[in-house]
Amino acid sequence: MCHCAVYVCSSSVRQERGRGDVRHCSHVIREVGSAAHSLRSQKKQKMAQFEEVSQKSKLHPKPEGLTLQYGTAGFRTHAKHLDHIMFRMGLLATLRSKKTKSTIGVMVTASHNPEEDNGVKLIDPMGEMVTVVWEGYATQLANAEQDSLLKELKDIIEKEDIDMSEPASVYIGKDTRPSSASLSQAVLDGVSSLGGKTHDYGLVTTPQLHYMVCCCNTHGSYGSPTTEGYYQKLSQAFLQLTQNVPNRTDDQKRLLVDGANGIGALKMREMEPFLRSELQVVLSNDGSSGKLNHMCGADYVKVQQKAPQGMNMGVGERCCSFDGDADRIVYYYTDSKGCFHLLDGDKIATLISTYLKELLTQAGLNLQIAVVQTAYANGSSTRYLEDVMKVAVCCTKTGVKHLHHAAQEYDIGVYFEANGHGTVLFSKAAQKQIQELVKDSNTNDEKKHAVKLLESTVNLINQTVGDAISDMLVIEAVLAIRGMSVQDWDAIYTDLPNRQLKVTVSDRRVIDTTDAERKAVTPEGLQDTIDSLVKKYKNARSFVRPSGTEDVVRVYAEADTHESADSLAHEVSLAVYRLAGGVGDKPKPLH
Ligand code: NG1
Ligand code: ZN
C-alpha cells in the first residue's frame, strides 16, 4: 500500500512540473509532504520489523561457535543443533520471496539420514533448488553470531537491493521425524517476524512441496497446489498411459513398496484410491512400528545392496524402496537362487530414456534427448547409453542441482543419480511441439498414439525435482506399455560390481576434486596412488570426494568382480586414511 502511494505521488509530481502549472504548487508540496511522510512511516515499519526479528531470534538462539554449511541438499545435522537455522531460513525465504516477488518453499527434512538428524532445504519459484549465491547467504545467515544477525540480514537486503515493502509468501512442509514439528514452527516464526505470509502444508513429501510452489507461481497451469491436486494430476496421467495396455494381470499390477517408515508411506496410502486398483501397492515399512530409514529405505538398499528388513518378498517379485522424504526410488527383486538384483537410478534412466527415444521416433519428432549422470553412475550404464542407445550422456558433480541445470540444456533431459534421485525435464519448446502434434488432425494413428503417450508421460513426471511416487508411476507405466517384467528390464545391461565406502578424516575439505569429481587434485599424491591401484584390476575405476551431507570422505570403486571392487575400494580407503588425515581405526578389509 505505502509503496503504491509513493509511486503515484511522485509520478503526479513529475506531470505537474512538466506542465509548469503554478496553480498546482501547493498540491505538489502536499504530495511531496505526504511522500516524505510515507517514507518515514515505511522506515518506522522497517525498524519495527527488525526489532521483531531481534526479539524473536532470542527465542531461537544460536549455540555460540557452531558453524554449518548449506551443503549438497541444504543444512543437515543432528536435530538438536537446528532450531536457530530454521528460524533464520524462515527469514531468508521471506527475503527471497520479496526479491523474486514469488512464493518460496521451505522443506524441513533430512531425507535418508537417521531419524535423530534433521535438515532444511529452500525451494525457488519454479520448484528448483535455490541459486548458489543464495546458498552462500544461507550459510552467512546461519553462522552469524546472535548479536550480528541483523547486520548480516541487512547486508543481504542491501546486496540484493530488496524492497522490504514487497509482500512475501512462504510454503512450508515437513517430514515425519519427531523433531520436524517444532523445527517447522521455528521456520514459521522466522517468516512471520519479517511480516511474511505462510502456508503450512504440514506433512508432505519433498517433491510434493516443490510441486505446490511451482503450481502457485505458475498460477495453476502446472496443477492445483494441493495434495489432492497432485494425486489427481499424476493418477489421471497414469491411468491414461495404462488404459490401453491389453491383458494386464493382477501380478503385473502388484508392486511391493518399502516406505522407509517415512512420509512417502503416508502419502502413498492417501494416493491409492486415486489409482483405482490399476496399481496394487503392497506397502511395508509404513511407519506404524519401525524407525525412519532404519534398515530400510532407498539409501539402505542401494548402499548395502540388499533388501530392506520388514519386506516379505516372493521370488522374482517387483519391489521398490523410497527414501525418508520420498524424492528417491530404487527397484529390486531376488531370483530363484536367492540372488539380489538392484535396479538403481542408472537402470531407471536407461529404461525411461529408451522408452522416450522410441516414442519420439514413432511420433516423428526431432527432439534431442540426453541423459545426465554423475561419477557414481555404473560404467556399464554409460557404455550402454552411449554405444547401444546412441544418446548423449553428460556427467556432472554430485547433487541434483548440478544434474538439473545440465538437463535444462536439452529438449529432453533425463537425469538420475545412481542412488535413484532424478526426473525428466522437457523444454518449453519440446512441450509445445508435443501439444501441437496431439492437436494436429493430419497425423496418422501410429504417430497420434505415440504423441499421446508422450503427452501423458510429461504430465506424469514431476519436472520440479526427483519424486519417488511420480518416478514409480512412470516406471510402472513404461513396464506395462512395453510389456516388460522387472527381469527383462534388468537384462538391458549388466552392472559392473561396485562398492561405496566412507572414511572419516579430521577435515574432509583437504580433498579437492576436478573433472566432475572423478579426480582428486589434493592432497598431493592421492590421485597418483588411486591411479596405480586401479591399474591392478580389470575394468576398474575409482574416485574419492568429500560428502556434502555427512562428515566423511566417500570412496567409490568398480571392477570386473565383486571381490575386486571390494578390494579396490578398501585399498583406496587406506590411501585416503593415510594421505588425507584419517581418524579413528584404520579401514578394515571387507572380507
Ligand atoms: P553426498 O553426501 O554429498 O555424497 C548424498 C548423495 C547425493 C545426493 C545428496 C543429497 C551419494 C553418493 N551421494 O550426497 O547423490 O543425493 O546426498 O541427498 O549418493
Ligand atoms: Zn531424499
pLDDT at 17 over 80: no
Nearest CA to ligand 1 atom 7: 399
Mean pLDDT throughout 45-64? Answer: 89
User: Does residue 327 have a known ligand-binding role?
Assistant: yes
Q: Are 361 and 367 in contact (CB under 8 A)?
A: no
Distance CA 132, CA 130 (A): 7
113 lines ligand 1 (CB under 6 A): no
Tens of pLDDT, residues 354-411: 999 999 999 999 999 999 999 999 999 999 999 999 999 999 999 998 999 999 999 9
CA 187 to each of CA 288, 443, 540: distance values in angstroms, whole numbers, following the listed order: 27, 52, 46
pLDDT at 16 over 70: no
Tens of pLDDT, residues 453-481: 999 999 999 999 999 999 999 999 999 99
The cell for 378 is 555404473
Pairing outcome for strands 422-426 and 512-514: unpaired
Local confidence band at 48 (pLDDT 50, 70, 90 cut-offs): confident
Select which of 38, 57, 111, 380 is catalytic: 111
Residue 549 amino acid letter: T
SS3 106: strand
Strand partners, 280: 254
Using the mean position of ligand 2's atoms as its centre, give its distance from the Cα of residue 502 in Å: 19
Using the mean position of ligand 2's atoms as its centre, give its distance from the Cα of residue 35 in Å: 50
Dihedral of alpha carbons 255, 258, 263, 266, sign: positive
The cell for 50 is 527488525
Local confidence band at 7 (pLDDT 50, 70, 90 cut-offs): very low
179 catalytic residue (yes or no): no
Q: Which of 66, 74, 42, 30 is nearest to 401 (CA)?
A: 74
The atom number, within ligand 1, closest to the CA of 546 reads 3
Burial code (b: 16+ CB inside 10 Å, e: under 16) for 220-241 equals eebbebebebbbebbbebbbbb
Q: Are 359 and 450 in contact (CB under 8 A)?
A: yes
Local confidence band at 247 (pLDDT 50, 70, 90 cut-offs): confident
Q: Are 184 and 108 in contact (CB under 8 A)?
A: yes
CA 322 to each of CA 26, 173, 419, 421, 469: distance values in angstroms, whole numbers, following the listed order: 69, 18, 11, 10, 8
The cell for 349 is 534412466
CA 91 to each of CA 75, 121, 192, 463, 570: distance values in angstroms, whole numbers, following the listed order: 15, 13, 8, 27, 45
Local confidence band at 37 (pLDDT 50, 70, 90 cut-offs): low
In the prediction, which pLDDT does 29 show?
Answer: 45
Tens of pLDDT, residues 162-212: 999 999 999 999 999 999 999 999 999 999 999 999 999 999 999 999 999
Residue 557 CA from chain centroid, whole number: 25
pLDDT at 93 over 80: yes
Strand partners, 331: 320, 343
In the prediction, which pLDDT does 532 show?
Answer: 98
Q: What is the DSSP letter of 179?
A: T
Ligand nearest to the CA of 263: 2
Percent of the chain with pLDDT over 90: 86
pLDDT at 329 over 70: yes
Between 38 and 234, whose confidence is greater?
A: 234
Mean pLDDT throughout 260-286? Answer: 97
523 lines ligand 1 (CB under 6 A): no
Q: How many residues does the chain have?
A: 591
The atom number, within ligand 1, closest to the CA of 550 reads 2
Mean pLDDT throughout 541-555? Answer: 93
Looking from the CA of 380 toward its CB, the CA atoms found within 13 Å total 16
